[in-house]
Structure 1
Amino acid sequence: MGSIQPENTAAVPFTLATFDGNATMGKKKQTRSAIGVNGSYYDLAALLKSTLDGQEGLDLDQYSTTLAIFEEWQNTSPTLSLLAGKIASGEVKANPIISTGNGAASTGVGTPNLLAPIIYPAKLLAVGANYTGHLAEMGLPVEKWTPMPFFTRPPTTSMVGPGESVIIPESTKQFDWECELAVVVGARLRHASIAEAAAGIAGYTIGLDMSCRDLIVAGRGLGTDLMRGKAQDTMAPVGPHVVPAAYVGNIDEKRITLDVNGKRMMDASTSEMIYKCDEILSIMSQNVTLEPGDVIFTGSPAGTAGAHGDCWLKPGDRIRAEIEDVGVLNIVIRGKP
Structure 2
Amino acid sequence: MRFARYGEAGQEKPAVLDAEGRLRDLSGVLPDLAGAALADLPRINPQSLPLVAGAPRIGPPVGQVGKLICIGLNYTDHAEEVGVAAPPEPVVFLKATSAICGPHDPVSLPRGAEKGDWEVELGVVIGRRAKYVSEEDALAHVAGYTIVNDVSERAFQMERAGQWTKGKSCDSFAPIGPWLVTPDALGDVQALDLTLDLNGIRMQTGTTARMIFPVAEIVAYLSALMTLEPGDIIATGTPPGVGMGRIPPRYLTEGDEMLLRISGLGEQRSPVVRDL
| TM-score, length basis structure 1 | 0.77
Structure 2 SS opposite 1:205: strand
- Contact preservation (8 Å) 1:175, 1:313: yes
TM-aligned CA distance change 1:42 to 1:132, over 3 Å: same
CA distance in 1, matches of 2:10, 2:220: 36
- Flag the 1:161–1:278 CA change in 2: closer, same or farther, 3 A: same
Determine helix, strand or coil for the equivalent of 2:56: coil
For 1:156-208, what per-residue CA distance to the aligned partner results, in whole angstroms no more than 9, with x for missing partners? x1000122321101122111001000001111001111122121111100000
Structure 2: runs of 5+ lacking an equivalent: none
Q: Does 1:168 align with 2:130?
A: no
**What CA distance in whole angstroms lies between the structure 2 residues aligned with 1:217 and 1:176?**
12
Distance in 2 (CA, whole Å) between partners of 1:266 and 1:83 is 36
Q: How far is 1:311 from its partner?
A: 1.9
Alpha-carbon distance between aligned partners in 1 of 2:215 and 2:72, rounded to the nearest angstrom:
13
Query: Do residues 18 (structure 1) and 5 (structure 2) align?
Result: yes
TM-score (structure 2 length as normaliser)? 0.93
Q: 1:299 to 1:29 in 2, by over 3 A?
A: closer
Once residues 80 and 94 of structure 2 are traced to their aligned partners in structure 1, the CA distance between those partners, rounded to angstroms, is 24
Q: Please point out which of 158, 174, 199 is paired with 2:99.
A: 158
Aligned position for 2:24: 42
Q: CA deviation at 1:138?
A: 0.5
Mapping of residues 152-301 of structure 1, within 5 Å: 152-155=94-97, 157-219=98-160, 225-301=163-239
Shift in Å, 1:306:
2.3
1:29, CA displacement in angstroms? 4.5
Q: Pick the aligned partner of 1:319 from 250, 255, 258.
A: 258
The equivalent position to 1:64 in structure 2, one of 24, 31, 40, is 31
CA distance 1:233–1:262, change in 2 (3 Å): same
Q: Quote the Cα distance in structure 2 between the aligned partners of 1:230 and 1:29.
A: 22
Report whether the alignment pairs 1:121 with 2:102.
Answer: no
Structure-1 separation of matches of 2:83 and 2:96: 29
Residue 45 of structure 2: which of 74, 83, 102 is its match? 83
Give the drift of 1:218: 4.5
The SS at the match of 2:45 is: helix
Report the structure number with the largest CA radius of gyration. Answer: 1
Separation of aligned partners in 1, 2:208 and 2:266: 14
Aligned-residue offset at 1:334: 1.2
Supply the AA of the counterpart residue of 1:131.
Y
Equivalent position amino acid for 1:307 in 2: G
- Distance in 2, matches of 1:146 and 1:137, equals 17
Contact 1:33 1:65 survives alignment (8 Å): yes
Q: Any idea what SS the aligned residue of 1:267 has?
A: strand
Kept in 1, the 8 Å contact 2:193–2:262? The answer is: yes
Partner of 2:271: 332
| Letter aligned with residue 275 of structure 2 | K
Quick one: distance in 1 between partners of 2:44 and 2:156? Answer: 48
Shift of 1:294: 0.8
- Cα distance in 1 for partners of 2:105, 2:11 equals 19
SS in 2 for 1:253: coil
Mapped to 2, the partners of 1:153 and 1:263 lie a distance apart of 28
Contact 1:215/1:225 (8 A) holds in 2 = no
User: Any idea what the Cα deviations from partners look like across 1:229-275, whole Å, max 9, x if unmatched?
Assistant: 11111111110111011111011011111100100001110001010
**2:52 alignment counterpart:** 96
The answer to whether structure 1 residue 31 and structure 2 residue 12 are counterparts is yes
Q: Check conservation: 1:218, 1:225, Cα contact below 8 A.
A: no
Partner Cα distance (1:115, 1:284) in 2: 27
- Quote how far apart the aligned CAs of 1:93 are: 6.4
CA contact (8 A) 1:34 1:44 kept: yes
Q: What do the CA deviations read for 1:111-141 (whole angstroms, capped 9, x no partner)?
A: 3211111122111100011001110010112
SS in 2 for 1:72: helix
CA contact (8 A) 1:164 1:334 kept: no
For residue 76 of structure 2, what is the aligned residue in structure 1? Answer: 132
